[in-house]
Amino acid sequence: MKTALTILLFGIVALAGGFALIVAADRFGWLPGDASSPVAANGSCPHEIPGETCPFCHPELIESMGWCGGHDVAEALCTRCNVGLIPAFEARGDWCVTHGLPESQCLICLRPASTGEPAAERPDAAGARAGAGVMRVNRPPSPTCTTSYT
Residue 31 within a domain: no
How many C-beta atoms lie closer than 10 Å to residue 76's C-beta?
Answer: 25
Q: Are 136 and 72 in contact (CB under 8 A)?
A: yes
Residue 104 within a domain: yes
Domain that holds residue 57: 51-121
Residue 59 within a domain: yes
Number of structural domains found in the chain: 1
Residue 19 within a domain: no
Residue 126 within a domain: no
Residue 15 within a domain: no
Please state the pTM of the whole predicted model: 0.47
Q: Are 100 and 37 in contact (CB under 8 A)?
A: no
Q: What gap in Å lies between CA 75 and CA 81, rounded to an integer?
A: 8
Residue 73, strand partner residues: 68
Q: For residue 52, what are the contacts with CB-CB under 8 A and spacing of at least 6?
A: 39, 43, 58
Q: Are 51 and 57 in contact (CB under 8 A)?
A: yes
Residue 139 within a domain: no
Position 11 pLDDT exceeds 80: yes
Mean pLDDT of 51-61: 83
Could you read off the pLDDT of 97-143 as tens digits, one per residue?
A: 888 888 888 877 765 544 444 444 444 434 444 445 555 555 565 55
Residue 4 within a domain: no
